[in-house]
Amino acid sequence: MIWLGLLVVFAGVVSYFEVFTRFPPLRDFPWVNLPLVLFGVALSGLGVARAFGRSEYRGKVLGSIGLVLSLLLATLFVLYIFWFSNLPPAGETAVNLAQAPDFALTSSDGETVRLSDYRGRKVALIFYRGFW
Cβ density class 47-66: b for 16+ within 10 Å, e for less: bbeebeeeeeeebeeebeeb
Find out whether 67 and 48 touch, Cβ atoms under 8 Å.
yes
What would the pLDDT profile of 80-125 be if each residue is shown by its tens digit?
Answer: 998 888 777 676 666 666 677 888 988 888 899 899 988 888 887 7
Q: What is the pLDDT of residue 50?
A: 87
The candidate with the shortest Cα–Cα distance to 43, out of 88, 87, 74, is 74
What would the pLDDT profile of 40-82 be if each residue is shown by its tens digit?
Answer: 999 999 989 888 887 766 778 888 898 999 999 999 999 999 8
Pick from 13-17, 33-37, 97-101: least confident: 97-101
Task: Identify the band that residue 12 occupies on the pLDDT scale cut at 50, 70 and 90.
Answer: very high
User: What is the domain partition of the chain in residue ranges?
Assistant: 2-86
